[in-house]
Amino acid sequence: MSDRITALLTHRRATLLVVAVLLCLPPFYLDAFWLRIGLFSMAAAIGAVGLALLSGTAGQLSLGHAFFLAVGAYGYTWLAGDPGPGLPTALAVPLAVLMAGLAGGLFSPVAGRVKGIYLGIATLALVFLGHHVLLTAESVTGGFNGRSVPPLSLGGFTFDSDGGLNVLGVPFGAEERLWFLGLALFALTWFTARGLLRSRPGRALAALRDSETAAAVMGVDVARHRSAAFVVSSMYAGLAGVLLALAFRRVVPDYFGLVLSVDYLAMIVIGGLGSVAGATAGAVFVTALPLLMTRYADQLPLVAAPGSADGAVGPTEAARYLYGAAIVLVLLYAPDGLHGLARRARDRLRRRRTPTTAPDTAVPSPPPPAAAARPKEHTP
Amino acid sequence: MNDRTTRTRAGGTSTTAPPELTVRDVTVRFAGLTALDGVSFTVAPGSVHALIGPNGAGKSTCFNVLSGLCRPDAGAVTLGGTELTRLAPHRIAALGVARTFQNIVTTQGTVADNLMLGRHALTRAGFTASALRLPGARREQREHLARAREIAELTGLGNHFDAPVGLLSYGDRKRVELARALCLEPRVLLLDEPVAGMNAAERARTAEVVAQLRAELGLSVVLVEHDMGLVMRLADEVTVLDFGRPIAHGTPDEVRRDPEVLRAYLGTDATGEDAA
């Protein structure tokens, strides 16, 4: 028995190592376009994991995610830049994340009391408020034109294209360097979010989602945990905002609109609510799709090249249609998202490999969440 | 509070008798309907106190008052020297009052997840410690998981410990609720129809577990149940409610002979035994 556990542990560790090595390879082989897709995907994944904690695990809808991304992005830019305190950039990153957390905390009197879809409406206000502030507080945000983002510098190493750095014969520009920063931040997100979900706070949040009453009589402080979920989710959004700002090298108010919040909701729905891996998969899908379609617009049927104004469907719109369709398909046929699909495939594979297990140890895969329990006989 | 933490460190076995639970003149009104009308009873430390009455008599409302989900319009509930009626549900849970629900209320995930939710009030790991997987938080989780497994064995869920709750049979899910309440290491256990919908074997098993708990852990149990056989077997004292009013009180034998009780259960001219 213990042998099997050690074997399993080493197996898991080996898988982790292989994945880590594979993720470190792209900067050596892919050009900046692909690296940028990767970077934006990693940033989106960090933000989506935060939203998955809030919406998927704690059952709280938020349409204000873009606001907290903006707080992170602009917070970093302001803290490290001029005009601003001009702090060391390495210090500005954690402070920007804390700022986003603080913004979430300020909203916690609402986030702790209002639940589900009503919180979604309440957070809607944040997006418009945030957008307005970004446009008008010009001394801090640079107004409509935004601000350029100071590159991050960690102990003498700067994440920009200067210095002519070569690693193994590959010139390392900003994208290559930021790739590793993104990986590190994403690994941190993965580690912490899974730690949270599998322990006391995660269980308390899931209990709040499934039954507030049961959670309360089991000793869960309902308002406190709702607020905490909101703060934690804001902090992940803040971190995502920082990475986005570094990747874009310029922050502009129009990016942080309601559409961005909706994109994040799409990510966690497509990926599967309440799972870190699912949120990541959803984030990659939603982020990469429009970028890829823009790049290959000339080779795609029915999609016009970007910039052509003859009424055809542009690649960005086409991508939106596609992931809109993806959401509909997911909701209809796989309500637990990509994560659920992957899990069922894995279970099926495992069952095929070990066809004769004792009946009491063979635990079938858990049923999809409550949303999936509705009858499907009307679907064609 | 301190007394509680030391108690749970020691593995969850209680040596001190639970405090007395007193319900005094509790009245609850829902927009014109008086659900509870001046209900008073006392649960002696370590006893099983049954609350019976026809449907709609206010038994579940009474439980909701005891666990803080419903604030009474008048009256008070005290546990030892602490007044419960002003406390939020999670504070009451932290004092060692656990409950189950009439209709099963479990959360998604495995039996282990549900039982570990029961350990919430006894554990400390916060968001930061859990996110960073600090050694203290991991050790705490390991220790409490071991105790949760013990409780699963005790309630006959040992084989299902890692199974998703959604796949269990009705009786087993009912037992998950009981086990989850026990995971709180309660001093007072509120059981709302613990055997409703169970078959004879499952009923016997649950009755056995409740009797065993009371003998081994010495906790007080408040029981709402329609199964009179179970009530008569387990209860030390019985309070009968009808339309929110207490109509009888006493030992099971006294109560089953009370003419008021027979009338409430069987109508005015009833002369039969009890309403099992």
SS3 B32: coil
Strands B21-30 and A250-251: unpaired
Chain B: residue whose CA lies nearest to A359: B159
Of the ranges A27-41, A136-150, A155-169, A293-307, which is most confident? A27-41
Question: Does residue A180 contact residue A118 with C-beta atoms inside 8 Å?
Answer: no
Tell me the average pLDDT across A138-167.
77
Chain B: residue whose CA lies nearest to A365: B164
Cis status, amide bond into A375, omega within 30 of 0: no
Token code pair at residue B230: 């179970």
Same domain, B175 and B197: no
Question: Does residue A327 contact residue A266 with C-beta atoms inside 8 Å?
Answer: yes
Of B93, B162, B164, the CB nearest to A217: B93
Return the higher-pLDDT residue of A138 and A35.
A35
Token code pair at residue A166: 């070569």
Residue with tokens 């919406």: A55
Residue among B169, B201, B38, B173 at smallest CA distance from B108: B173
Same domain, B134 and B196: no
Is residue B255 situated within a structural domain?
yes
**Rounded-to-integer distance, Cα B60 and Cα B91, Å:** 20
Is there a contact between B89 and A216 if contact means CB atoms under 8 Å apart? Answer: yes
DSSP B65-86: HHTTSS--SEEEEEETTEE-TT
Domain boundary among B183, B203, B224: B183
Q: Is B141 on the interface with A (CB under 8 A)?
A: yes
Domain boundary among B159, B183, B207: B183
Contacts of B69 in chain A (CB under 8 A): 213, 216-217
Chain A: residue whose CA lies nearest to B120: A219
Q: Report the domain count for chain B.
A: 2
pLDDT in tens, A209-235: 888 888 999 999 998 999 999 999 999
**Where in the sequence is the domain holding B147, given as residue range(s)?**
111-183
Same domain, B52 and B154: no
Tell me the average pLDDT across A297-306.
69
CA distance to partner chain A, nearest, from residue B75 (Å): 21
Residue among B92, B109, B93 at smallest CA distance from A205: B109
Same domain, B75 and B208: yes
SS3 B125: coil
Amino acid at A309: A
Contacts of B120 in chain A (CB under 8 A): 200, 203-204, 218-220
Q: Is A358 on the interface with B (CB under 8 A)?
A: no
- For chain A, give every domain's residue range: 1-30, 31-355
DSSP A64-119: -HHHHHHHHHHHHHHHHSTTTT---HHHHHHHHHHHHHHHHHHTHHHHTT--THHH
> What pLDDT does A308 receive?
60
Residue with tokens 């409740």: B210
**Rounded-to-integer distance, Cα A74 and Cα B124, Å:** 35
Is there a contact between B127 and A219 if contact means CB atoms under 8 Å apart? Answer: no
CA distance to partner chain A, nearest, from residue B130 (Å): 5
> What pLDDT does A20 receive?
84
Strands B82-83 and B74-79: antiparallel
Picking from A53, A190, A192, A200 by the largest number of B CB atoms within 10 A of its own CB, the best residue to mutate is A200
CA distance to partner chain B, nearest, from residue A210 (Å): 5
Same domain, B232 and B206: yes
> What pLDDT does B274 receive?
44
Q: Is B143 on the interface with A (CB under 8 A)?
A: no
SS3 A370: helix
Same domain, B123 and B222: no
**Rounded-to-integer distance, Cα A291 and Cα B18, Å:** 65
Long-range contacts of B210-219 (CB under 8 A, 24+ apart): B210/B48, B210/B234, B212/B154, B213/B154, B213/B182, B213/B189, B214/B46, B214/B48, B216/B13, B217/B13, B217/B14, B218/B14, B218/B17, B218/B18, B218/B46, B219/B14, B219/B18, B219/B46, B219/B186, B219/B187, B219/B188, B219/B189
Domain boundary among B119, B150, B183: B183
Same domain, B190 and B264: yes
Of B132, B137, B184, the CB nearest to A192: B132
Amino acid at B109: G
Is residue B130 situated within a structural domain?
yes
> What pLDDT does A306 receive?
60
CATH class of the domain whose range is A31-355? mainly alpha
Chain B stretch 192-221, residues whose beta carbon is closer than 8 A to a beta carbon of chain A = none
pTM above 0.90, yes or no: no
Is there a contact between B98 and A217 if contact means CB atoms under 8 Å apart? Answer: yes
CA distance to partner chain A, nearest, from residue B250 (Å): 29
Amino acid at B55: N
pLDDT in tens, B125-166: 888 888 888 888 898 888 999 999 988 988 888 888 888 888
Return the higher-pLDDT residue of A47 and A366.
A47
Same domain, B131 and B238: no
Picking from A46, A113, A199 by the largest number of B CB atoms within 10 A of its own CB, the best residue to mutate is A199
Same domain, B177 and B208: no
Give the pLDDT of chain B (276 residues) as one tens digit per residue. 344 443 443 344 445 678 889 999 899 988 888 888 888 999 998 889 999 888 888 888 899 999 999 889 999 999 988 889 889 999 999 999 999 988 878 888 889 999 999 898 888 888 888 888 888 889 888 899 999 998 898 888 888 888 888 888 888 888 899 999 999 999 999 999 888 888 888 888 888 888 888 888 888 999 998 888 888 888 999 998 888 888 888 888 888 888 888 887 766 654 444 444
Task: Assign residue B55 the CATH number of its domain.
Answer: 3.40.50.300
Res. A189 pLDDT band, cuts 50 70 90: very high
Token code pair at residue B197: 């919908």
Is there a contact between B117 and A232 if contact means CB atoms under 8 Å apart? Answer: no
> What pLDDT does A83 receive?
82
> What Å distances lie between residue A33 and A36, B69, B94, B248, CA to CA?
5, 56, 55, 80
Same domain, B192 and B171: no
